[in-house]
Structure 1
Amino acid sequence: MSSLIHPAIRHHLTPGGRVRLISLRGGEVALVRPVFDGLSERSRWLRFHTGMPSVPPRYLEQLARVVPGHRHVLLAVAPHGPVGHAEWTRLPGTPSRAEVAVAVVDAAHGQGVGLALVEELAHSAAAQGISQFTCSALRENRPVRQWLDRCGARVDPSDPTECTFAITDLVAAIASHAGRATPPPENPLTSGDRGAVA
């Protein structure tokens, strides 16, 4: 199965330990499933905005789907297995914008996994000419809404769960949070022999 995965993008040292961020080629449901099996009922509600006892197999297939240039999927993998999933999907008719979504297993909340995923996701999107992210976040999802505020996200007046923000503002907010003076100058997804961004 490891042959289906792109080489590791980067190793991140988080408060919870080291994680590897990998880019899927598409279809690796067995790698995606542990992340969503590790979500509590409340976390599934915050991620999908609907109640479900577990994520259905057909939905897992969608979460593992990759379309080069249009849909990109990252996993955060700890020594014991996958702990986070992140994706962006380019919006039809608006090539400079993409919808973004992230999930982290409950046991790894607050350990920097989500931020590591989002930062890498931002770089991969920027490399594809995407300048803005949109996301859907419930008001009760306070950690995410606080980050959206830091990024200067604009809330859709017709739907207060829909937010739009510039990728550059996101990367700058993460750099500030991490105590870096400026974002990393090198795009880790387009350097070395990592290959083209999916």
Structure 2
Amino acid sequence: MTQLAEGNGARIGDGGWAATLDDVRIRPYNVTDDARLRRMSAWLSRGSLYTRFFSGTPAIPERYVRSLDGLDHWNREALAALLDDDLIGIAEYFRDRGRPWRAEIAMLVVDPWQRRGLGGLLLDCLSALALRRGITEFDAEVVFDNQGVMRAIRRRWPDVRSLKTEGSAHFRLPVAPPGPVRSGHAEGRHPG
């Protein structure tokens, strides 16, 4: 889990050159990203995979990789965070067909980039797209063990309450306009 960008020697977490958010590009996920998504598994702990997929999987499930081929970039969107040629984060929403103003969100960030602001940056970009597309509420299902995400939700939405389900908390979150996006982070600023 130390070498993220073999091409230019960018190293994360081992005392080498440490990339920052200014080095990350955010853009819509596309079908050419499937190999990057599979490689992303190498930088994810079993705990990170469990909290995203709610199961003990040793790698990103192939059914998930294939499901992203069906993005329509309107009702179902995913944004990719890239460091050089490596996928280091992905955020997605899929719209509720019965309530088109709502969408389920999910996010996955490689372990070396957790707690460094990448999740918030992805959420800001995804929120901007969602608002432009008429989505005003996000639903999020969070495993109780994922205390980092629980704290992040409480910081961003201090008044939100969760519904507890078996092993997880369900949040209904108002989609707020994103904060200012720092320069250099998103290609074309707000993808879409």
Alpha-carbon separation, structure 1, partners of 2:68 and 2:20: 27
Match of 1:178 in 2: none
SS at match of 1:153: coil
Distance 1:157 1:81 in 2: 35
Matches within 5 A, 1:10-25: 15=20, 17-25=22-30
- Unpaired runs of 5+ residues, structure 2, are 1-18
Of residues 152, 156, 161, the one that matches 2:163 is 156
* SS of match in other structure, 1:129: coil
Aligned length: 167
Alignment of 1:105-116 (within 5 A): 105-116=110-121
TM-score normalized by the length of structure 1: 0.73
Q: Which runs of 5 or more residues in structure 1 are unaligned?
A: 1-13, 176-182
Whose relative contact order is higher, 1 or 2, with alpha carbons under 8 Å and at least 6 apart? 2
Which amino acid counterpart does residue 137 of structure 2 have in structure 1? Q
Q: Distance in 2 between matches of 1:158 and 1:60?
A: 27
Aligned to 2:98: 93
Q: CA deviation at 1:91?
A: 1.0
SS at match of 1:53: coil
What is the root-mean-square deviation of aligned Cα atoms in Å?
Answer: 2.7
Instruction: Tell me what 1:3 maps to.
Output: none
After superposition, the C-alpha distances for 1:130-182 in whole angstroms (9 at most, x for unaligned) are 001011112221111112223133312556521111011x73xxx4xxxxxxx
> In the alignment, what sits opposite 1:8?
none
Once the two structures are TM-superposed, the CA of residue 17 in structure 1 deviates from its matched residue by 5.0
Q: Which moved more, 1:22-31 or 1:100-109?
A: 22-31
What is the alpha-carbon distance in structure 1 between the residues aligned to residue 92 and residue 139 of structure 2? Answer: 12
Superposition map of 1:59-138 within 5 A = 59-79=64-84, 81-138=86-143
Distance 2:91 2:136 in 1: 17
User: 1:41 — aligned with what?
Assistant: 46
Distance 1:140 1:56, change over 3 A: closer
Residue 123 of structure 1 aligns to a residue in which SS? helix
